[in-house]
Amino acid sequence: MRLIVCLMMLVFVALPSALAQASEPGTNEIANQDALSAYHRAFPGDDSTAKRQALQTLADPSVGDDDEVLPLLVAAVDDRQAHADAVLALRRRTGLAPSPFRGQSHYPAYAPTDSPASWRYWLTDRARERTQQAAIDRVHDEAVEAARAAAEAEKTVSQEQ
């Protein structure tokens, strides 16, 4: 009976207030900035609990942009107090799991090991691939625009004849 009462309270009290807060404009941006500032406050210090909480917050894929958060998580892998939590946060954020054969994977799969160097290489490979994909997308857009312009020019020439 208690469980039913608790669930009803959750549905009728907590859920509407959470939805209202989530629908407020700028709420996600504020939450993202709070999460990033919590990370930046925690990591220069020695408080492992603050580091763990900051990493758990950044592990959520809805918090921040990957281009901003992943470098922070990779940097945390090198922290003695937060290494395990940083690796778990990277796994949760990226949805990746270690290969059954250690050292046999690379980007876009899991890093070869959980060492700081492996995660830095993984992040570098990710950045390189994203840069290449952006260049390919830009060239594709230019080609589509050129084809569109050529079709317009051909249409204009055929109408003049």
For 37-83, write each residue's pLDDT tens digit. 999 999 999 999 999 999 999 999 999 899 999 999 999 999 999 99
- Give the separation between CA 70 and CA 78, rounded to whole angstroms: 13
Residue 44 φ/ψ, nearest 5 degrees: -70, -20
Share of the chain above pLDDT 70, in %: 79
pLDDT at 12: 42
Determine which of 1-15, 69-83, 139-153 has the lowest per-residue pLDDT on average.
Answer: 1-15
pLDDT at 140: 96
- Give the separation between CA 125 and CA 149, rounded to whole angstroms: 36
Whole-structure pTM value: 0.70
What 8-state DSSP symbol labels residue 63?
Answer: S
H or E stretch covering 74: helix 66-77
pLDDT at 133: 95
Neighbours of 151 (CB within 10 A): 10
Q: How many CA atoms lie within 13 A of 51 on its CB side?
A: 22
Share of the chain above pLDDT 90, in %: 61
pLDDT at 3: 42
Question: pLDDT: is 133 or 22 the higher one?
Answer: 133
Q: Which long-range contacts (CB under 8 A, 24 or more apart) does 116-124 make?
A: 116/74, 116/77, 116/78, 119/74, 119/77, 119/87, 119/90, 120/74, 122/74, 123/70, 123/71, 123/74
> Which DSSP string corresponds to 100-119?
SSTT---TTS--SSSSHHHH
For 105-133, write each residue's pLDDT tens digit. 667 888 888 999 999 999 999 999 999 99
pLDDT at 7: 40
Residue 156 has pLDDT above 90, yes or no: no
